[in-house]
């Protein structure tokens, strides 16, 4: 857009401590948001501040107003509280998302996004009250706060909510599916595999139980991070000392956040730590990375077991969701497994960014918070949606090809392991190699080598009992 086009757009004049700024007339943001919008044209329209952070700001601004109304009623009047409550509620509900244009690549403290929230709530709140200028972005909406404690608070609120309300339920859904598949496949014996080579038998239900247990362990690790995320920096203000915040503000604000979200948020015990260290988010993301690693393994197992349909393992069938090729008629691919593995790779990459950002606290503040929040929330969002999709469109429709499993099991040379106690390891190895070289069954190879009579072989060789 050139300068002539800009001049033609309707605008209003806003001002801040640096002077006047032209702002689009149909937007609730004001001078500082507009300055950031003009100064950081990086990833515009694509890498904007995550909506979860914006909604969390709505929650915390409302909570801060509630605390200020209790502690500073002469400044946070009933009228101002009501106006902020309604406007902040609209922000939290996502009704004003179009008024938050700022990108991730801004100041590392998130100051402009904090001011974006302050300005939008001030203008919208004043409009709701029918009193232009009723609310000042700094003096009222940002009362008792600093960007340095609000952005870390917004990150913790957003992280806790997305983990508890989206990711954990997604894990629970897939876990339930695996538990059902375990019961349905109890007693179905198949060949195990290690190093992508044939191994000793395993029940299909046992194999599925490994998937289920991995998810349960990942869930426990993610849940273990929640108490740390429930600690809020709010009340530390600029450097952790709480300057300009009344005594008890941190506790009152945390109680209000808990009331608004239904989650057990508490004030961080040490605000100096809360402002500069991001170890809680790094720890929680590490647990998400562990989940991504297990989802990669599970998806790979499923697509290997479903490979074929004729020339692969073909031991399970998975739902056919869409054509798999533009040139090969009838081809169907394990696309849900592929989306899971790509998401897992993205989460693993995000973990590097989160780790690097969390390591960059200097003195009293970490100034890599927007990029940390962006990657953390993307990981949680992707994993939640990926797992739900995989569960609904793949895992829930898994069926065992029991005849294929039986054939593969009885064709495995590793069943020879059952004969170790009777003929010894080295003789069993010779027997397996002979069977493979000459295309014999284990029973035929055993008889040719004279290790066991056919009758004795039948007495001791029971693959289905090897699990």
Looking at the annotation, which residues are catalytic?
195, 325
Q: Report the C-alpha gap between 157 and 180 in whole angstroms.
A: 34
- Cβ contacts of residue 2 below 8 Å, gap of 6+? none
Please name every residue paired with 11 in a beta bridge, in sequence order, or none if there are none. 24
- Cα–Cα separations (whole angstroms), residue 380 to 153, 164, 263, 366, 383: 18, 10, 18, 22, 5
Query: Which is it for the CA torsion 32, 35, 39, 43, positive or negative?
Result: positive
Contacts by residues 337-340 (CB-CB < 8 Å, ≥ 24 positions apart): 337/299, 337/300, 337/302, 337/303, 337/390, 337/394, 338/299, 338/303, 339/386, 339/389, 339/390, 340/295, 340/296, 340/298, 340/299, 340/386, 340/387, 340/390
CA contacts within 13 A on the Cβ side of 418: 23
Q: What does the angle CA 111 – CA 107 – CA 75 come to, to the nearest 5 degrees?
A: 10
Q: H/E element holding 358?
A: helix 335-358
At which residue do the structure tokens 């109890």 appear?
186
CB 253 within 8 A of CB 67: yes
CB 135 within 8 A of CB 121: yes
Beta pairing class for 365-366 and 361-362: antiparallel
Q: Report the C-alpha gap between 161 and 172 in whole angstroms.
A: 16
Kindly give the residue spans of alpha helices, DSSP state H, lying in 196-262. Answer: 204-229, 249-261
Collapsing DSSP to helix, strand or coil, 189 comes out as: strand
Q: Report the C-alpha gap between 452 and 162 in whole angstroms.
A: 62
Tokens of 428: 């069993």
Kindly give the residue spans of alpha helices, DSSP state H, lying in 46-110. Answer: 51-71, 78-92
Q: Report the C-alpha gap between 198 and 192 in whole angstroms.
A: 6
């Amino acid at each position: 857009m050139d300068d002539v086009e800009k001049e033609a757009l309707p605008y209003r004049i806003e001002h801040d401590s640096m002077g006047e700024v032209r702002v689009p007339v149909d937007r609730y943001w004001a001078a500082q948001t507009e300055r950031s919008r003009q100064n950081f044209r990086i990833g515009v329209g694509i890498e904007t501040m995550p909506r979860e952070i914006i909604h969390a700001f709505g929650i915390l601004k409302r909570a801060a107003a509630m605390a200020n109304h209790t502690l500073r009623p002469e400044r946070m009047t009933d009228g101002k509280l009501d106006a902020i409550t309604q406007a902040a509620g609209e922000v939290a509900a996502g009704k004003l998302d179009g008024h938050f244009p700022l990108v991730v690549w801004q100041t590392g403290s998130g100051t402009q996004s904090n001011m974006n929230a302050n300005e939008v709530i001030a203008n919208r709140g004043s409009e709701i009250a029918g009193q232009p200028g009723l609310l000042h972005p700094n003096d009222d909406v940002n009362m008792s706060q600093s960007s340095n404690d609000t952005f870390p608070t917004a990150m913790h609120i957003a992280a806790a909510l997305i983990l508890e309300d989206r990711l954990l339920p997604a894990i629970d859904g897939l876990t339930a599916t695996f538990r059902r598949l375990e019961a349905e496949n109890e007693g179905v014996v198949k060949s195990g595999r290690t190093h992508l080579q044939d191994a000793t038998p395993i029940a299909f239900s046992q194999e599925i139980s490994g998937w289920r247990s991995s998810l349960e362990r990942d869930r426990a690790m993610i849940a273990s991070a929640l108490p740390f995320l429930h600690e809020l920096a709010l009340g530390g203000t600029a450097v952790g000392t709480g300057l300009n915040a009344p005594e008890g503000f941190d506790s009152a604000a945390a109680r209000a956040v808990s009331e608004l979200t239904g989650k057990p948020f508490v004030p961080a015990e040490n605000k100096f730590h809360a402002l500069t260290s991001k170890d809680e988010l790094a720890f929680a993301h590490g647990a998400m990375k562990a989940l991504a690693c297990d989802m990669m393994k599970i998806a790979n197992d499923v697509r290997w077991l479903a490979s074929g349909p004729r020339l692969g393992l073909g031991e399970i069938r998975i739902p056919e969701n869409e054509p798999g090729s533009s040139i090969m008629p009838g081809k169907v691919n394990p696309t849900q497994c592929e989306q899971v593995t790509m998401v897992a790779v993205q989460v693993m990459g995000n973990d590097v960014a989160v780790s690097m950002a969390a390591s960059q606290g200097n003195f009293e503040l970490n100034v890599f918070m927007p990029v940390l929040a962006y990657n953390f929330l993307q990981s949680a969002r992707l994993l939640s949606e990926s797992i739900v999709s995989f569960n609904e469109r793949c895992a829930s429709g898994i069926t065992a090809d029991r005849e294929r499993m039986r054939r593969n099991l009885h064709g495995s040379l590793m069943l020879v392991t059952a004969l170790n106690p009777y003929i010894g390891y080295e003789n069993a190895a010779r027997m397996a190699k002979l069977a493979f070289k000459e295309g014999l069954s284990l029973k035929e190879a055993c008889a040719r080598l004279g290790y066991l009579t056919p009758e004795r072989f039948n007495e001791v060789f029971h693959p289905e009992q090897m699990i």
